[in-house]
Structures are given as C-alpha cells and as structure tokens.
Structure 1
Amino acid sequence: MKKVNYHTHTKRCKHAGGSDEEYIESAIKSGFQELGFADHTPWPFDSSYTSSMRMDIEQLDDYVNHLQILKQKYVNQISIKIGLECEYFKEYIPWLRHIIEEYKVDYVIFGNHFSSNEQKNVGYGKMKTDETALELYLETAIKAIESKLFAYFAHPDIFIRGYGKFDDVCERISRQICEKAKEYDLILEFNISNYICEPDSKHYLYPCLDFWKIASELGCRCIIGYDAHQPQVLEQQNGYLKAIAELEKIGIEIVDVIPFLNHL
C-alpha cells in the first residue's frame, strides 16, 4: 500500500502552522509517495462575517499558485495534489462548483463541520451536541454524498465527539451514513489526528471504532487521513501504525487512491 495523505492544511486557515514547503519536506522525510493539500475552503459569507477557521476568498489565488510552484519544485521527490475541504452549504454549492473549475483543483473532500451554514453556528466536533443536532448532521451528510461532488467523506464519525457517547442514536445515524456511502461508493476517511495529538488516551470517541465496525459490516472502503495542521504531524508513525492495526482488525478495506477531478 502506498503511503499517501490527502488531508493537509495550511496556515491560511488561521488554526494551522508551518509553511507549505515544510509540510512537503516532512512528507518526503516520512516516505509519502503523494501529498494532497485540502485546506478549509472559503465561502462567500455575508460581508459582516469573517470565519476564524478557514482562509479568506482573497487567499485562494496564493493557495493554489504557491502549491503549483512547489509541485514543480518537488516533482522528482513527491507527487503533490491540490484540493479543498468543504462543507455542504446548499446555497453556496454553485459558487463552489465555479471555484473548482476556475482553479482546476484536483479534488474536494467533504468535512461536515456545520449543518447548513457556519454563520448559524450549528457545529460538530468539540461543540456539545444533542440528538436534534445529530439528525441535522445526518441530513447534511446524505445530501453531500448524493451530490457526487466529493472524493471522500472526511472524519464521518466526528459527530460522536461532541455528543459524548455512542448510543442507539449514534448507531442508527452511523448505519445510515455508511449505507449511503456504500450506495454511492464514497470513500470514508479514518482520521488519525487524535491518535497523533492524544497518543496516551485510553478511549477515543473520534475515531470511533463502533462507527468503523458498522462501516466494515456494510462493505465500505476507507482511507487514512492525517488532518495535518502542523508539518511535523506527517512525521509521526505511531498513529499511522495504530490505525493500520485497528482497521485490519476490524476487517475494512483500506485504499490509497482517490478519484480526482477531470477538467477540460
């Protein structure tokens, strides 16, 4: 299996560090054959709102152009792909499709951080959530999968983290997500950021192995994602090896190739 990662951020998102080149150098040092950048996409929010977790629209040019320069600089050492991590905000999807074509990005991944619009602040992850919020997460996830826009679903189990437990509600939602992913042959990402950042934890809600047992049962495919917000994260081997061991034990298929977009 090739060593790849398609979930790499940059400091433009306001909560990551290091230079673009440092991520590439760390990936080469760690033996990656291909590195994909998928920083948080900007959205055309109201002018009165500025997101604290994603690049500004004005930074898109620099993001793509600088990575294109580095892609050529390191062409003989590693393959570089340029993507975006995007939510499914229905009102902004036409804008996103235009951006994808304008910048000729290689792929987009689905990160379900907010149910409908970041400005409304129904978020998932560290924020505490309830059953109603989980139903919104499911509804958005289904729409995103059916859109056929995304190369894979990043951290699909992130909703369990803020909910705080894996109960019958989580089991039902996990099953519906995995059934839809299987129907559309969408890859699910096993996100190892917590394995790397919290290596001594005895119990992880994210990644949640109960979710992944359902994914395996239903015949889904998965890819390992570092979700790197610092270059040195890509040099950490223990989290990667732990993920391989867990996934092999569960019996789910691990892939190292994702579908890329074809532009005219």
Structure 2
Amino acid sequence: MKRDGHIHSPYCPHGTTDTLISYIEKAIHEGFDDITFTEHAPIPAGFEDPTPDQDSFMTIEAFHQYVSEIQKLQTVYAHKIQIRLGVELDYIVGFEQQTSDFLNEFGHLFDDAILSVHFLNYAGRYTCIDFSDEVFQAFAAEVGSVEEVYTLYYDTVIKSIKADLGPFKPNRIGHPTLVHKFQLAHGQSIDDDAQIRHVLNIMQEYGYELDVNSAGLSKKYCQESYPAAPYIAYAKELGLPLVFGSDAHQVCDLHNYYTDIMD
C-alpha cells in the first residue's frame, strides 16, 4: 500500500491555489492507495501568529469549508482511493487548553492528524523557527546559540508528546527534526544525535507514529528528510509506525522522494 499522510491544500494561506481534485488525481495516477489532507488547524484562541503575513493557520471559516469539501470528495473518490480528513495541529507551549478545546469540539471529524512544533517560546515571545533562515539565525542570537535553539526545539517536541490534549490528540508527531531546516545556512555542526534518539524513544514509549517527512530534501538549506535516513532506520529498529509524508503545499511537491525514503 502506498500512503502519503501529510498533504496541504488550497486552504493553506501560505500554500497554493491547486485544487483538492488535482492532488487526488495525481495521487491516483502515481498509484497511491491512501492519502491524508492535513491542513494547518485554526489558530488557538489568544495566540498571535508571529509571522509577517500572519498566514500560518486556516481561519475558522476556511476550516469549515475544508471539512465540507473533503467529506464530499471522500464519497466521490471512494471507489478509487482512500482519502482521510485530517489536520496538522500546532503544539504551542502555554496554549494547551485552547488546543484541547479545539480538539474536543472538532476532533471527532478527523480520520487522521499530525501534531507538530513550529513555534518556540523564549522569554515569553514566540518565534516560527521554520519561517526563514534570517528569522532562525536572529532567534539563535537571541537565545544564545544555534545549539540552544536545538535544545529548546527538542524539549518542546517532548512536551508535545507528553501533553494531555484529550481523547482526540493526534497520534503522529510531525517532522521531529524540523530544526534542521536551515542547517546549511547557519553552517554550524550540532551534535544532536542523542537528542533525536531520545525523542524517538519517547515516541515509542508513548505509542506515537512518526511522520517520515520528505520536505526537507527540497529545502535549499536542509537537504535531508525529517528525520534523516539514519534515524528512520533507528525508528524502524524501535518498531515505531512510520507514515510517509510529502508535506506538499502544491501539487508538484506531492509524493516527492517517496521511493528514496520508503523503498
């Protein structure tokens, strides 16, 4: 079975206008049996998006349209491909209750979901660490070093794994080495081997799936999957369930590097 469990959509405000049908038709053409649309969930109540265009999240109005359209397409394509309705949910330190409230209200709708860390809290201020290499390096200077950013990132991922977000909490952790996105920009060699293995061990202990995310291979300053190949092998040794995710934000990115990673 070929599955892509991390796909965005035209409902992503920083994504594409490519239609949901164009994603589905490409998946069928490339022999995929199972796909999940995991659009960014609406912003938690009270959180202010720190990105310049404040375009990290769906609006609640777009969310309702997104759910409705995918549910219709599930019926239309039921004889050709399994389409799962999901979200990529941000874990944001200090907004656990708001996140739980969202899941308690809407979690019953989802067939699948991903829990990811994009925003880090330092000194009461939030930064989107995958927004740009300039933002990343400015944040590293603020925190003290690139190494400190890595430590804060992995600590936050571990908090996301252990957080009580209620019965509808996603059971897959998204791109757990996203902090590597700008590793070739900052040019520092950070030994985070033990931290990555620790994260994977905790995921195994708590019963989570791993988002084997190919998007980093297309990123200028990353050039590796999230996580990289040695850690995918380690996750297999641990018995972690692996779910490939292209993290496509446009149709041309759909399923990229599937064969390289999963075969």
TM-score interval, smaller chain: 0.7 to 0.9
Q: Distance in 2 between matches of 1:223 and 1:174?
A: 18
Gaps of 5+ in 1: 246-264
Select the residue among 227, 230, 246 that pairs with 1:226.
246
Structure 1 residues 55 and 119, CA, compared in 2 at 3 Å: closer, same or farther?
A: farther
Q: Distance in 1 between matches of 2:36 and 2:238?
A: 28
SS of match in other structure, 1:109: strand
Structure 1 residues 235 and 111, CA, compared in 2 at 3 Å: closer, same or farther?
A: closer
1:167, CA displacement in angstroms?
4.8
Select the residue among 204, 225, 246 that pairs with 2:223.
204
Aligned residue in 1 for 2:143: none
Aligned residue in 2 for 1:172: 194
Q: Matched residues, percent identical?
A: 25
1:212, CA displacement in angstroms?
3.4
Q: Given the alignment of the two structures, is residue 61 of structure 1 paired with residue 61 of structure 2, yes or no?
A: no
Aligned residue in 2 for 1:244: 262
Aligned residue in 2 for 1:131: 147
1:20, CA displacement in angstroms?
1.5
SS of match in other structure, 2:232: helix
SS of match in other structure, 2:110: coil
* Equivalent position amino acid for 1:68 in 2: Q
Structure 1 residues 105 and 28, CA, compared in 2 at 3 Å: closer, same or farther?
A: same
1:234, CA displacement in angstroms?
2.8
1:15-34 to 2 correspondence within 5 Å? 15-17=14-16, 18-34=18-34
SS of match in other structure, 2:162: helix
- Partners of 1:151 and 1:186 within 8 A in 2: yes
CA-based RMSD of the aligned residues comes to 3.0
1:7, CA displacement in angstroms?
0.5
- Partners of 2:4 and 2:246 within 8 A in 1: yes
* Equivalent position amino acid for 2:15 in 1: A
* Equivalent position amino acid for 2:35 in 1: L
* Equivalent position amino acid for 2:173 in 1: F
Q: Distance in 1 between matches of 2:223 and 2:87?
A: 26
Structure 1 residues 47 and 96, CA, compared in 2 at 3 Å: closer, same or farther?
A: closer
Select the residue among 73, 78, 83 that pairs with 2:86.
83
Aligned residue in 1 for 2:42: 42
1:65, CA displacement in angstroms?
1.0
- Partners of 2:129 and 2:179 within 8 A in 1: no
SS of match in other structure, 1:144: helix
Q: Distance in 2 between matches of 1:24 and 1:146?
A: 34
Deviations 1:125-157 (A, max 9, x none): 743341221121112111111237222112112
- Partners of 1:189 and 1:222 within 8 A in 2: yes
Structure 1 residues 216 and 176, CA, compared in 2 at 3 Å: closer, same or farther?
A: same
Gaps of 5+ in 2: 141-145
Deviations 1:70-114 (A, max 9, x none): 111111111111111122124333333333343322232022111
Q: Distance in 2 between matches of 1:48 and 1:86?
A: 15
- Partners of 2:130 and 2:178 within 8 A in 1: yes
Q: Distance in 2 between matches of 1:209 and 1:6?
A: 18
Q: Distance in 1 between matches of 2:6 and 2:151?
A: 26
Q: Distance in 1 between matches of 2:8 and 2:233?
A: 28
Deviations 1:172-208 (A, max 9, x none): 211221121121121212211244x46xx8x834442
1:116, CA displacement in angstroms?
3.9
* Equivalent position amino acid for 2:120 in 1: S
Q: Which is further off, 162-171 or 85-94?
A: 162-171
- Partners of 2:7 and 2:254 within 8 A in 1: no
